[in-house]
Every structure is written in C-alpha cells, then in structure tokens.
Amino acid sequence: MLAAAVSYVPYPSWLNPADNTWQLTAATFVGLMSLPGLAVLYASIVPKKWAVNVLGMMFAGFSLVMVIWFLYAYKLGFGANSFGGGVKDGVQTQLTGVGGWTHFIDNFWGKPGPITSPLGEQGQAISAANTSVPFHFPTSTLAYFQFVFAAITPLLFLGSVLGRIKFSAWCLLVPLWSTFVYTVDAFLLWGGGYFAQEGALDYSGGYVIHMSAGVSGFVAAWVLGPRLLRDRKHFLPNNLVMAAVGAGILWLGWNGFNGGDPYYAGADAASAVVNTNLSTAAALLTWVAMDAWLSKEKKPTFLGAVNGMICGLVGITPCAGWVNGQGAIYIGVICSAVVWVAWNFLSKVRPFSKVDDALGVIYTHGIAGFFGGLLLGIFGDPGMLQLGCGHLDPSGQVIATTATEFATAKGTCVPFSVNGLIYTGSAHQLWEQFRAAVFVIIWSALITFILMQLIKLVLRGVRYKDEILEVGDLAIHGEEAFPEEAFASRVGVGVGVGASSSEASGSGSPPDDPVPSGGSGS
C-alpha cells in the first residue's frame, strides 16, 4: 500500500518544517490555555471549597476529549469526507440540490473514524477547511491543533455549571457534547460543511467555540438549577494572584489560538497574533474605564480587567487574520463595551436573571463571540487574505495552489476574500455570519438540553445533594485545595515507611544525621 510507503519518511515532499513547527507550537500554546490556564483561572475565582472540584473536572474533561478525538471525533468535524457525501477527499463535490435542504444535510457532518494508524497520524492532513494553501503538515498536527480547540470549549462552559454539577454527569456531558454539538458546528463552519460553503466564516472559533460554549453553558446551568443560596451569596474568589496567572496564560496562549489558524507560518499568522493582542488590550482598557467611570462603585477592578480581556480575545477570535489592526481595536472596544452593559444590566432581565450561570460564560464568551462574528461582516478587510483552491491529488501530493492551476486541474475555482461592509459596501458577509450564528445558537442550545435530560435520566439527577454542596471539595473528592497539615495525620498502611525519617529509624540516628538522637526530641 502507498500508505505504508510514505508513513515513515521524516520529511515527506509535502511537509514544510516551518509550518509543522509553528502549528505544533501553536497547538501547545492553545493546550496551555486549558491546562493550566483556564483550570487555574476558574479554580482561583471560585470559593476555596470548590477549587479542587474545578481542577478535577478540567483535567478529566481535557483527557476525555483527547481520547474520543483521535478515536472517532476528529473526522466528524474535519474528516475529508462528509456524512452525506457533499465533501469527498477534502474537496466539495456537491452537484445536486445546492442551496436546498439536500445541500444542508449532505454537508452537515463528517464521517467518523479513528486516526490512530501510521497513515492516519503521519499522512498529509486533508480537510475541506478553508486555507489559502494546502496543509504542509501531517494529520497528527492538524488533529492535535483541532483537539486543543475541541477540548477548551467544554472547559469554558464548566464556568456556567460548576458548584453543583455531579462529577459523573460532567464526565458524561463532555464526550457527548463534543460529539453531538462541537463536531457538527465545527464541520459546518470549518470542515467544509454547509455554512463554510455558503461563505460564513469563523477564523478561530467565535461561533464554534465561544458562542457555542456560552449558549451551551447557559442551557446546562438552567437544567441544573442554581447553586446553593449560600454559595451564591458568598461566591468570593480564593486567590486573585493565581487568577492573574491563569488569565495571563489565556491571553498569551491566544497567540497560538488565532496565530495558528491560517495553517501556515506566514504573514497572516503574524497579523492574527498582532490583531489579537490589539483587540485584547483595547477591550481590557475599555472595561477598566467603564468600571472606573460608569459603575456604581467607580473603581477599576482587576477581575473586571480580566473580563474585558476575555471579551477582546473572544471578539477578535472570529476575525483575527481577516481584519486589519484598526478593525481589531474597534472590535475589542465594541465587544468589551457591549458585554459590560450586558453584564451590568441584561443580567437583571429574564431569562438571564433566572439562570445561575456561575461565572457568566454567556456574557464574556456567548455575547462577545456573537458580536465578534457579526463584526467580521463589517470590519473584514479584503486586503488581508485571499482564500484559495488548493487540494490534494489521490496520492496525497499537493496540486493546484493557485486559481489558474486549480481551474486547469479541477474545474472552476473562485478564490475569495472577506468582504466587510465598510470596505465593500456589501452586507452579504454580515448576512452569512448572522445565519450561521442563529444555527449555532439553536443547535447548541437544543442538543445541550437533550443531552442534559438524558444524563439526568441515566444518573438519576445531574446535581449533588445539598449536604454535599455545603461541603464541596471534601465531600466530593476527599481533598482540599489548601489543607492544614497541623490538623491532618496520616493513617493506615505506609505510616513510618522510609528508614531515612529519623522517627522511624529506631535505634540511634543515622551516621550522617547532624542532630543527636537525644537532642531536640520533638
């Protein structure tokens, strides 16, 4: 088989070491955003009785997505073939029913399958994902890069459901949600599915990740019911310094989040990184200024700055390499201001006042992601990037990386740019963005609701009993985030093991022990 022949070549002809290096680096950055970034951020802004529970769910969630991703889920979202046959070998092949329901259904979901074989891991990445050049790295690189995105999404909406969800319910929700919500949204917008073909765009996940996380978290929190009244009244952070560490890793990790999404280590990757930071800085400053001048207390709070930072990061995510630096600043300011207003006022209106979204994920991720996606239709600068027609021939070799080449080899191809309203006067992109947003909101909400009901049925309830919620970490995990050693003494097997300890050494002290055995004695 051809597969075996190419699998162990260190540098296959299609591989570009720079692209591969950057993509793996970017993926690792994004992974660090989850572990430890988000884990530490969330664990620090909850009361100390919940810190271990948050960490446990973060690490378990990350692991669950990793395993299902390589066993079947990657191909659901990014496989070269769609379930309905609209995408084949990474090329869109829809011939009939374009624009209608058939088109939608044929291009709805990828074909599941493992990517754990030598060729599965080391063959050239093939997907109908939009990029201006074909992938110059193996499937493992693309799949791992996409895994860290898939993993952080449920971890983001852990912020909505923490403080009452059962650990077991979480461990069922994460793989089910990744399978039935995430991969569908991802295929539709990224894997060459219906909305991608229609022209909707999402640079790194304003819709697929953030808006979807916000909406899903909100619905899951609604099904779960609120935290204990006492927890809601006393929900103070346990360590703002550690929260700063988590938030900082999140911000700089985003350089990989957005910088990795051109799929090549080129000029647009650099733009994406710069724009991400511009938007974030502007958004952080916007929130701090609004806190200082418009809030009741008139104080610039640090957690407000973190909220503003996240709004900027989320808002620029769907746009990063498709807007220019000026657009990035506008996006940061607008997303931060909109979310600030929503956070302070919308939260008093139904249904927001009735659903206990513990860390407000619906605002900083849901609303910021929604607006960021729409703003792409306004600030998208056609001068930034042209998306092309590259694809692979059946033997895995790259052909046709330009429109002319593609047209000769494969038929028609119209490379396209992102046409924002203010540059082209056309609202078409805005409309495509809006359609995709509406679908992602409805799909995420509906399927999350069904999954939560299902889990409720299977586990006889998705939340812990009140007496467990009163205690938190100790009742659930038997661990505390900050145990007091003076109060705890080891029992059972293992006490006294280790002859180097002076108490256990029995007759006399070891020869190199500087303290005489009869000395301090304590």
Partner 1 sequence: MKLVVAVVKPFKLDDVKESLKTLGVHGMTVSEVQGFGRQRGHTEVYRGAEYEVEFVPKVRLEIVVDDTQVDEVTNAVVDAAGTGKIGDGKVWVLPVEDVIRVRTGERGSEAL
Q: Residue by residue, what is the 3-state secondary structure of 287-314?
A: HHHHHHHHCCCCCCCHHHHHHHHHHHHH
CB-wise, 29 or 464, nearer to partner 1? 464
> Which string of DSSP letters, residue by residue, matches 425-453?
S--HHHHHHHHHHHHHHHHHHHHHHHHHH
**Half-sphere exposure at residue 486, Cβ-oriented, CA atoms within 13 angstroms:** 0
- Interface with partner 1: number of residues (CB under 8 A): 16
432 binds partner 1 (CB under 8 A): no
Q: How far is the CB of 45 from partner 1 (least distance, A)?
A: 20
- DSSP-derived letter for residue 125 is P
Of the listed pieces 150-158, 281-289, 430-438, 478-486, which binds partner 1 according to CB under 8 A?
Answer: 478-486
Distance in angstroms (rounded) separating the CA atoms of residues 42 and 37: 9
Q: Is 482 in the site for partner 1 (CB under 8 A)?
A: no
Query: Binding of partner 1 at residue 233 (CB under 8 A)?
Result: yes
Residue 13: exposure state from Cβ atoms within 10 A (0-12, 13-18, ≥19): exposed
101 binds partner 1, rule: CB under 8 A: no
Taking the complex as a whole, the smallest distance from the CB of residue 488 to partner 1 amounts, in Å, to 4
Strands (DSSP E) contained in 296-370 are none
Taking contact as CB under 8 A, which single stretch among the options 178-186, 323-331, 450-458, 483-491 is the one that binds partner 1?
483-491
Residue 470 near partner 1 by CB under 8 A: yes
Taking the least distance from each CB to partner 1, the nearer of 95 and 488 is 488
Closest to partner 1 by CB, 54 or 319: 54
CB of residue 478 to partner 1, shortest distance in Å:
5
Q: Cα–Cα distance between 450 and 120 in angstroms, integer?
A: 33
Smallest gap from residue 233 Cβ to partner 1 (A): 7
Minimum distance from residue 57 beta carbon to partner 1 (Å):
18
Rule CB under 8 A: say whether 383 interacts with partner 1: no
Nearer to partner 1, 492 or 506 (CB): 492
| Choices 187-195, 282-290, 343-351, 475-483; region in contact with partner 1 by CB under 8 A | 475-483
Of the residues 10, 478, 506, 514, which one makes contact with partner 1 according to CB under 8 A: 478
How far apart CA 311 and CA 204 sit, in angstroms, is 15
Complex with partner 1: residue 89 or 470, whichever CB lies closer: 470
The count of C-alpha atoms lying within 13 angstroms of the C-alpha of 380, restricted to the half-sphere facing its C-beta, is 33
Determine if 230 is a binding residue for partner 1 (CB under 8 A): yes
Nearest Cα to 371, choosing from 361, 360, 363, 383?
363
Strands 391-392, 386-387: pairing is unpaired
Is residue 474 within the footprint of partner 1 (CB under 8 A)?
yes
Question: For residues 446 and 301, what is the distance between their CA atoms, to the nearest angstrom?
Answer: 36
**What is the per-residue DSSP string for 245-289?**
HHHHHHHHHHHHHHHTTTSSSSHHHHHHHHHHHHHHHHHHHHHHH
Q: Is 363 helix (H, G, I), strand (E, B) or coil?
A: helix
Q: How far apart are CA 172 and CA 146, in angstroms?
A: 21
Could you give the C-alpha distances from 41 to 26, 100, 245, 247, 474, in angstroms and in order?
A: 20, 44, 7, 6, 20
- Applying CB under 8 A, among 97, 99, 483, 516 the residue interacting with partner 1 is 483
Interface pick for partner 1 out of 10, 383, 494, 511 (rule CB under 8 A): 494
Q: Closer to partner 1 at the Cβ: 432 or 480?
A: 480
Q: Between 484 and 512, whose beta carbon lies closer to partner 1?
A: 484
- The CB-of-164 to partner 1 minimum distance in angstroms stands at 15
491 binds partner 1 (CB under 8 A): yes
Nearer to partner 1, 227 or 365 (CB): 227
Smallest distance from partner 1 to CB 477, Å: 8
Q: How far is CA 142 from CA 18, 134, 318, in A?
A: 14, 12, 19
Q: Give whichever of 10 and 492 is closer to partner 1, judged by the CB atom.
A: 492
H or E element at residue 399 = strand 398-399
Is 487 a residue that touches partner 1 (CB under 8 A)?
A: yes
Residues 183-222 as x/- pattern, contact with partner 1 by CB under 8 A: ----------------------------------------
Is position 484 an interface residue for partner 1 (rule: CB under 8 A)? yes
Alpha-carbon span 283 to 309, nearest angstrom: 6
Residue 183 C-beta: closest distance to partner 1, Å: 36
The smaller minimum CB distance to partner 1, of residues 88 and 465, is found at 465
Query: How far is 439 from 193, CA to CA, in rounded Å?
Result: 13
In the complex, the smallest distance separating the C-beta of residue 40 from partner 1, rounded to whole angstroms, is 19
Task: Tell me the closest approach of the beta carbon of residue 480 to partner 1, in angstroms.
Answer: 7
Quick one: 230 or 299, whose CB is closer to partner 1?
230
- Considering only 351, 425, 492, 511, the residue that binds partner 1 (CB under 8 A) is 492
Tokens linked to 146: 């996409």
Nearer to partner 1, 87 or 469 (CB): 469
Tell which one of 488, 501, 503, 514 touches partner 1 (CB under 8 A). 488
Q: Write the CB contacts of 426 (distance below 8 Å, at least 6 apart in sequence).
A: 419
Backbone angles phi, psi at 289, to 5 degrees: -65, -40
Give me the residues paired with residue 386 across strands.
417
Tally of CB atoms within 10 A around 101: 8
Which distant-in-sequence residues (6+ apart) come within 8 Å of 405 by Cβ?
399
Binding site residues, partner 1, CB under 8 A: 230, 233, 470, 474, 478-480, 483-484, 487-492, 494
